Amino acid sequence: MRRRIFALSCASATLGALVLAPAALAATDLNTVIGNLELWLSGLLASLATVFLITGGVRYVMAGGDPVRLERAKSAISSAALGYGFALLAPVAVTIIQQIVGG
């Protein structure tokens, strides 16, 4: 199960990289590069959080009342919530980096 989740995460990250690569390669100044970084970071975190949310939901439904499986499912769902929080805060972190660099 973990291998399947890892493979799905890698596949979604690769697909995102292939879709966004032309925009990142067309960057000519620092502000464009930082804007692309913000987009990549938010998209990657949101997609991974979605994978964890789906995994947690499936585990919760398939738990069948087993307390250990329910705890695993709740852990995956809380990890997804944390991932969505990081995805929302990624633009703030990129803005701070941009101000430090001076862009």
Prediction pTM value: 0.64
Which of 35-39, 63-67, 70-74 has the lowest average pLDDT? 35-39
Three-class secondary structure of residue 26 per DSSP: coil
How confident is residue 53, by pLDDT bands cut at 50, 70 and 90? very high
Which of 5-9, 17-21, 38-42 has the lowest average pLDDT? 17-21
Separation CA 100–CA 51 (nearest Å): 33
DSSP codes, 43-86 = HHHHHHHHHHHHHHHHHHHH-TT-HHHHHHHHHHHHHHHHHHHH
Counts for the chain of helices (H) and strands (E), in that order:
3, 0
Residue type present at position 80: A
Nearest Cα to Cα of residue 4 among 72, 50, 51, 66: 51
How confident is residue 77, by pLDDT bands cut at 50, 70 and 90? very high
Residue type present at position 30: L
